[in-house]
Copies of this chain bind each other. A is one copy, B any other.
């Protein structure tokens, strides 16, 4: 029953210094902690699209639903504050399912100091859908955006790419703290998180910035998962192709001026891998320097929801 679930959840939710009024009223009341601007993002995750409930520990699905939103907030270099969570639960087993989803959500919320401010719990004859909306505050360093990359800026990326479908798409660590640190210390011109795929998300930066990108493909950090996945699929695509086109790495792509890029790449105290994979250029479009050193057009590929 809905009321039983809501009572159970309210008991489990910890207090939060910015949550003036938590779940149990018509809306939550949040203190904005003197922030003049906030960021807000929403992601709706669905069974058999974003995860397969019949094959995984349900807690990982709950964790992912919050984590993808944290990654969006990271891409803006904002500080997460509070989330509201809406569930469409299958009628059979819905109570147990909701409890396990929150088992995955709550520890991650605690790690990133996110208040669970409220929610909406529903049942229906359809499969599970879970919508998380995350609100964050803009720091004194401003936001990182997709627009702002300039010709000559270096293309930097965190982590490595490809093959996240083997498990990392559920268990990745959103780059929240890393983004805040990078934005505080360096003059980052633009940024995005990789959800659709490295090449497609790089395309989003150049489209919004009005420039082109030249990628040195030999410098792209290819994850071990990309190698494993390529092998598992019979090497129809190379590990590099997986790195460029697989989705859900949830790493950051950054546009950074050359002198800043040198400082940043030498900064051992960032506590993460950062690699330079090319530069932004005047020529509109996407270009690559391939393994033979030739410049050639690059076709961005990645995940798109398809419907007609």
What chain B residues lie within 8 Å of A199 (beta carbons)? none
Min distance, Cβ A234 to any Cβ of chain B, angstroms: 27
Is the CB of A291 closer than 8 A to any CB of chain B?
Answer: no
A125 to B46, CA, bound (A): 10
- Segment from A81-89, A149-157, A213-221, A263-271 that makes contact with B: A81-89
A73 to B84, CA, bound (A): 14
Is the CB of A37 closer than 8 A to any CB of chain B?
Answer: yes
- 1/0 per position for A86-128, CB-CB distance to B under 8 A? 1111111111000000000000000000000111111111110
Is the CB of A54 closer than 8 A to any CB of chain B?
Answer: no
Is the CB of A36 closer than 8 A to any CB of chain B?
Answer: yes
Known: A94-B308, A135-B135. A26 touches B41 (CB 8 A): yes
Known: A32-B37, A208-B24. A94 touches B44 (CB 8 A): no
In the complex, the answer to whether B84 meets A42 with C-beta atoms within 8 Å is: yes
In the complex, the answer to whether A136 meets B27 with C-beta atoms within 8 Å is: yes
In the complex, the answer to whether A29 meets B37 with C-beta atoms within 8 Å is: yes
Q: Which chain B residue has the least Cβ–Cβ distance from A146?
A: B25
- Segment from A160-168, A241-249, A273-281, A299-307 that makes contact with B: A299-307
Known: A91-B308, A123-B307, A304-B2. A38 touches B30 (CB 8 A): yes
13 additional contacts (CB under 8 A) given A91-B308, A95-B308: A20-B37, A25-B76, A25-B145, A26-B71, A29-B138, A31-B37, A32-B36, A49-B124, A84-B133, A86-B131, A92-B307, A123-B306, A129-B129
A127 to B129, CA, bound (A): 10
Is the CB of A75 closer than 8 A to any CB of chain B?
Answer: yes
In the complex, the answer to whether A133 meets B308 with C-beta atoms within 8 Å is: no
What chain B residues lie within 8 Å of A147 (beta carbons)? 25
Partner of A49, one of B25, B122, B136: B122
Give the total of A residues in contact with B, Cβ under 8 Å: 78
Min distance, Cβ A40 to any Cβ of chain B, angstroms: 5
In the complex, the answer to whether A46 meets B308 with C-beta atoms within 8 Å is: no
In the complex, the answer to whether A86 meets B42 with C-beta atoms within 8 Å is: yes
Is the CB of A193 closer than 8 A to any CB of chain B?
Answer: yes
Is the CB of A1 closer than 8 A to any CB of chain B?
Answer: yes
Known: A26-B146, A82-B40. A122 touches B305 (CB 8 A): yes
What chain B residues lie within 8 Å of A118 (beta carbons)? 40-42
A93 to B307, CA, bound (A): 7
Known: A91-B308, A208-B24. A38 touches B32 (CB 8 A): yes
Partner of A93, one of B90, B143, B304, B308: B308
A172 to B133, CA, bound (A): 26
